[in-house]
Structure 1
Amino acid sequence: MNLEIINDQHVLPAERETWIRDLVEFAAKKLAMPEDTEMSISLITDDKIREINREYRGKDHVTDVISFAIEDDESDLPDFEALAAELNIPRNIGDLFIAPEHVQEQAVEYEHSFDREFGYTIVHGFLHLNGYDHIEPEDEKVMIKLQEEILDSYGLKR
């Protein structure tokens, strides 16, 4: 996995970036993704994620993660996976924006460790970038089951 982590405002210590990479690599292997698949994770402040949420989703509140999948089924864009294969270039699945401060608040609220909640947030967003969603109950069952399998096998059990 070619993962770019943007932590310019140092909202998390730089050492945490290795842990993030390990978890994303682990999840990518579970999905049997090509090693050259690309994505990015931006670690941002609560204020910044609220601004993005307001501008792009019309929701004026802080959230833990926002995903921007390049291969969105609702898009009029070309089939990027096929195009990447045809041109022999890496597939880029999109971008995640994560607010670690809000993740910490949720960890306290749900009585999870920060690692468990942060891992949940990363894997949840990662699955969204890979086409999973939880809008319909049937889809939610599939996504949540896979998410829990990844987290449990990585060692982030509830």
Structure 2
Amino acid sequence: MKMTIDIVDETETLNEEQLQLVDKLVTNAGHSEGLTGDVELSVTFVTDEEIQAINREYRDKDQPTDVISFALNEQGEGEQEVIAEGLPNALGDIIISVPRIKEQANEYGHSFERELGFLVVHGFLHLLGYDHMSEVEEKAMFAKQESILDDYGLTR
């Protein structure tokens, strides 16, 4: 697997080690999920105001949230899968609120890096089709998140 991750910190608050953590975690998660070939995605870090605007526009929820994922491979009803020979698998975009990382790390009593990792992996799994709309889905997704984070060594 060759993974290309476009990481943008619009807040200019994350340091180089934190940005490298994002890259390594996503790559490890891709391996863990058995992705093959060329894979592309983006991870963008924004303010609460920016994620609230995105949440309002795309989800009709006028409040900030911690992470939003836009999966490009997700098919709606009646849509057909488009497979182009020789093109990378473009998974989509993950958008994360930096203020929410800080707030939730304090709330849950763990490091900024642990919460950063949790949200990155959470968003990544959404790009792969995982969800938490039912209790069964939630248990499966959260178990997968914990497994990926534990395997990486980013424990609570």
* TM-score of the two chains, using structure 2 as the length reference: 0.91
Quick one: distance in 2 between partners of 1:14 and 1:157?
A: 21
What's 2:96 paired with? 98
Q: Residue 115 and residue 51 in structure 1: after superposition, are their counterparts in 2 closer, same or farther (change >3 A)? A: same
What are the Cα deviations for residues 65-104 of structure 1, in whole angstroms up to 9, with x where unaligned?
A: 0000112243554314xx03xx221110100001111111
Q: Structure 1: which 5+ residue stretches go unaligned?
A: none
1:48 — aligned with what?
Answer: 50
Distance in 2 of aligned mates of 1:75 and 1:2: 29
Structure 1 residue 60: deviation in Å? 1.1
CA distance, structure 2, for counterparts of residue 156 and residue 66 of structure 1: 22
2:108 to 105, 110, 113: 110
In the TM superposition, what whole-angstrom CA distance separates every residue of 1:86-141 from its partner, at most 9, and x where no partner exists? x2211101000011111110111111211111111000000000000011222112
Residues 1-158 of structure 1: pairs in structure 2 closer than 5 A: 1-74=3-76, 76-80=78-82, 83-84=83-84, 87-158=85-156
Q: How many residues align?
A: 154
| Change in 2 beyond 3 A, CA 1:35/1:16 | farther
Greater fraction of residues in strand: 2
Q: Contact between 1:11 and 1:43, CA under 8 Å: does it hold in 2?
A: no
Distance 1:79 1:55, change over 3 A: same
| Cα distance in 2, alignment partners of residues 69 and 156 from structure 1 | 25
Consecutive unaligned residues in structure 2, runs of 5 or more: none
Superposed CA RMSD: 1.5
CA contact (8 A) 2:45 2:95 kept: yes
Which secondary structure does the structure 2 equivalent of 1:89 belong to? coil
Segments of 4+ moved more than 4 angstroms: none
Contact 2:44 2:96 in 1 (8 A): yes
> Is the contact made by 2:49 and 2:64 (CA closer than 8 Å) also made in structure 1?
yes
Greater shift, 48-57 or 14-23, is seen at 14-23
Secondary structure, in 3 states, of the residue corresponding to 2:43? strand
